[in-house]
Structures are given as C-alpha cells and as structure tokens.
Structure 1
Amino acid sequence: MPARTAASRNADRVRLDELLVERGLFASRSRARDAILRGTVTVGGAVADKPGASTPTDAAIAVSDPAGRYVSRAALKLIAGLDAFGFDPTGRSALDIGASTGGFTQVLLERGAAHVVAIDVGHGQMAPQLAADPRVTLLEGVNARDLDAAPLGGRPVEAIVCDVSFISLKLALPPALAVAMRGAFAVVLVKPQFEAGREAVGKGGLVDPAVAERVAGELHGWLDEQPGWRVLGMVASPIEGGDGNREFLLGAVKDRG
C-alpha cells in the first residue's frame, strides 16, 4: 500500500470550529467559536481553546455548553440578570428591546412570561420558532427611541429587557420606561463601548476596564433618576460581548411615585 501523502493526511484534519458545525453540534462557526473560547468544548478529553486548531476529523469531541439549547448566547446574560435580582417573569407581559435572534425572548417564555412584544430595528433576525410562537408579537423595523404604546396592542408592559448596540441606552430606553406600568421590572444590558465617547474606545472597539466600570456606574445613576424607577443593583455579565468587551446588567423596578 502506498504511503499517504502530506496532502491526504491534511485532508483528515480541519479547523475545530468547522468540525463542530459539520457534526451538527453548532449552527454556525461563530457559535462554535464562542463555545470554544468559553471553555465548553473538549477534544480527546482536553479543553480546547483555539477555534482554528487543526483537528482530526475523527477526534473525540464533547460539548458542555449551557448556551447550546438557546438561539443566542445572550440568553445566559438575561438568565444571570433575572437570577441576580430575583425577578420572575411568570404571567407577565414583557417588552424585549433589541430582540435580534431572540435569546432574551426565549428565556422570558421559558420562565413563564405570558406574552413578549419583541422589537428590533432590523428585519429577519429572530429564530423562526420564536417568531411563530403565538406568545410573541414581533415588531421589526422599530427604533426603540420611537416606541409608544400604540404598537403594543394595548398590552401592559410589566417587564422590560434590553440588549441594544450602536445606540446609547439613554436614547433607547426612555419611551419603554415611560409606558411601563407600576410594578414592572427591567433587566438592562450595559455595553460600555456604545456609551463611552469615541475618545474612550480603543483599537478594535475595546474599552479600558476602568472606563467601562465608570460608564456603567453613570448608567446606574441615570436609570435611578428616571420617573418612577428605582435601581436595585448592577452585576457583571457572566460572559463578555462578542467583541471581548466587559458588559454589565442593571436591575430596576418601577415602584416610585
């Protein structure tokens, strides 16, 4: 039998993130990459940390990823926020600002929300199974800063969750905060790179950790000053943003006034 060539040997090895997708373990390379970087993938019993690692196609791979069953890794962020502040969506009508693929919406439904109005400035991003769920009203092409009660179809806003990019929360949140009923709660994801001035954002969009904490603290104070709202606290997100930036979660209730 002729010796195998280097080319044929290389053909039996592929990038780890590609192999995970080929095996159906993840829907996309970006999801696979994220799982690898979070240390949830093992190859031959060893934790993998390089998405581009050349990996035998027959390698023994195991995945232990808590985000795996959700449409977005962002689900882990909301789970952390709800648990940290003791918020229970059961039976509530909720508003998901910046819904995107629906990770936050999925968590709300999983935890018993009666209905979720999901808004996003984009189109065609929400996972089909969530968009088709009768408990979800999807409003696409809606800018959060232009929100009023009319598109909500008369539904009360008893909970607000928010994950937006490329816009300050100080612009995106006020309309939703205003229409929320007394007793509502809010879990808001703070992304410092979209709150700090351009001069504070470094190469690759990364924000100095000290600046990130300062900006998050400023948002804490701002939210606590919104009519009727009281901030319960702020916690670090359990996972970084896709760009590597630290993120934070603010929890608040509307029980003043």
Structure 2
Amino acid sequence: MTVQKKKRRLDELLVARQFVSTLNEAERLIRAGEVYVAEARAEKPGHLYSEDSPIKVKKRLPYVSRGGIKLAGGLNYFTIDPSGWICADIGASSGGFTDCLLQHGAKLVYAVDVSYGQLDWKLRTDSRVVVYERLNVRNISSEHIQKQVDLAVFDTSFISLKKVIPPVLPFLGKTPRILALIKPQFEVSREKVGSGGIVRDKQERLNAVEMICQFGQDLNLRFRGYVPSEIKGAMGNQEYLIYFQGKLSE
C-alpha cells in the first residue's frame, strides 16, 4: 500500500522552511519567478507540492521583502545616508523599506500603512519602529508623527503619489527629503494600463515620472533626479525612484 504524501501550498512551504517570513513575501517571490521546485520555475503560490519537494530560491533577500532592494538602490544612487535619521515609511506593507532604512542606520522609522497585520514580526517588535496600521496617510497628524522627519519614503499602491505626498510635508521641516517609488500603473490613466496591470509603453512610464516631478516642484520641492528600480514590481512593471531634497524657495 502506497502512502500518500501530504501536500501543502507552495507559499506555505516557503514560510515553513524559513525562506521568507510571511505569505505575502512568499507570493511576491513566486510571482517574480524566483522560486524553483524540482528545478522548474514555480508560477502559482497556491499550487500544491509534497512537503519534501526540493525548493530553491534564486536569491536570499537581504531585507524582509523585495522592496528593500528597491530602496537600497535609490539610497545608493542618490548617495543618501540615513544614519541617525528619523524616517517615515509610507505604505510600509511587510516592511522592506523600513528594514532597509534600519540596516542603513536610521534611528527611528514611522511605519505607516492602511492595511493590518502585514508588517514583518521582527520589525513589529523592533523598538526603533513606530507602527501605525489601518491609517490612511491622508489622515495622518501630529498625534502620529511626533518628531521631525529627516526622510520620507513612499511605496504605496492603488493610489497616486499626488495624493499621499502632501499630507506628509508638514512633518519634514525646512529641508524636506522625499524618496518615492513611482508605480506607473497607478499614475497613468486606465486606458494606458495593459493586461496584467502592466504599463508597457516606455513613453507612458516616463510621462508618469515627469508628472510626479512637476507635481513635486509645484509643492516647492527641489527635484534631484530619478532612477529606474533595480528590480521590477511584483507583476512585472518597471518602476522608478524619484528624489526631492530641499525647497525651491523659502
């Protein structure tokens, strides 16, 4: 009699074997094509595999999520050193940006997200992280951000940066620093977004960058540049990091 081997979802197996900390991050890795089962690339987080299936992840992430890699690329490109800074991570999700800031020496990070329960446990229990869940950034106030922020980073979804940057400006002081991830699919009009939520037209993506650049300048922010993200978004979109530092006029 053959004993049927127990099967589990692939995302659950990744967590159980400690490749990642959360199911959300497992899903991101799988959809990004970075997970292989028996030498074949896996495509679906919910696909069932035997518990003893050979699993490989192309890269062990240096941060709790792929977002940390994106932010690290921006910090390096713009030579931003957040050592000793107080930072705000808007759209913290599982905490890739927050983790990256801490690993680069940030003194304190306000982790803000409209969702609940996504932030990685190691960050949730870190005394350097102030967690605000179920908080829409448009409702943020001095009750939440009680110290002047040296750097605000943004990794938001399903909303334009034009709606989430202004509420944070009052907390940035005389020399505001903003490093934001531009996701073109949430900036361009719907008809410009193709199947799978991907903006394939490079010019449309650059139009999104230009729009956010102009928007920042309209807010009296000094544009310092932009750079394509080192890795693509979870669904395959090319994203960009844009940096504003200082004001155009006092």
Q: TM-score, normalised to structure 1's length?
A: 0.80
The DSSP-based 3-state class of the residue aligned with 2:98 is helix
1:188 maps to what in 2? 180
1:215 maps to what in 2? 208
Deviating above 3 A after TM superposition, structure 1's stretches of 4 or more consecutive aligned residues are 11-24, 26-44, 48-64
Q: Which one-letter code corresponds to 1:128 in the other structure?
A: W
Alignment of 1:88 onto 2:66: no
Alignment of 1:162 onto 2:154: yes
Once the 2 structures are TM-superposed, how far is the Cα of residue 105 of structure 1 from its aligned partner?
0.9
2:223 maps to what in 1? 231
Seen in structure 2, the aligned counterparts of structure 1 residues 17 and 256 have a Cα distance that, compared at 3 Å, is same
Q: Which one-letter code corresponds to 2:162 in the other structure?
A: K
The DSSP-based 3-state class of the residue aligned with 1:150 is coil
8 Å Cα contact 1:120/1:143 also seen in 2: yes
Q: What are the superposed Cα offsets for residues 62-115 of structure 1, whole Å, 9 maximum, x if unpaired?
A: 545152x42221111111111111111111111111111111111111111111
Seen in structure 2, the aligned counterparts of structure 1 residues 49 and 42 have a Cα distance that, compared at 3 Å, is closer
- Identity between Structure 1 and Structure 2 (%): 37
- Show structure 2 runs of 5+ residues with no match: none
In structure 2, C-alpha distance between the alignment counterparts of 1:121 and 1:255, rounded to whole Å: 28
Q: TM-score, normalised to structure 2's length?
A: 0.82
In structure 2, C-alpha distance between the alignment counterparts of 1:60 and 1:215, rounded to whole Å: 42
8 Å Cα contact 1:14/1:54 also seen in 2: yes
Q: What are the superposed Cα offsets for residues 169-220 of structure 1, whole Å, 9 maximum, x if unpaired?
A: 1111112123311233221011111111122222332223332221122112
1:144 maps to what in 2? 137
1:134 maps to what in 2? 127
Seen in structure 2, the aligned counterparts of structure 1 residues 134 and 50 have a Cα distance that, compared at 3 Å, is closer
8 Å Cα contact 2:169/2:176 also seen in 1: no
Seen in structure 2, the aligned counterparts of structure 1 residues 164 and 101 have a Cα distance that, compared at 3 Å, is same
Structure 2 residue corresponding to 1:26, chosen from 20, 35, 43: 20
In structure 2, C-alpha distance between the alignment counterparts of 1:177 and 1:70, rounded to whole Å: 27
Q: Which one-letter code corresponds to 2:163 in the other structure?
A: L
Structure 1 residue corresponding to 2:101, chosen from 101, 108, 114: 108
Seen in structure 2, the aligned counterparts of structure 1 residues 215 and 22 have a Cα distance that, compared at 3 Å, is same
Larger Rg: 1
Once the 2 structures are TM-superposed, how far is the Cα of residue 16 of structure 1 from its aligned partner?
7.0
Q: Over aligned residues, Cα RMSD in angstroms? A: 2.9
1:248 maps to what in 2? 240
Seen in structure 2, the aligned counterparts of structure 1 residues 28 and 130 have a Cα distance that, compared at 3 Å, is closer
8 Å Cα contact 1:188/1:251 also seen in 2: yes
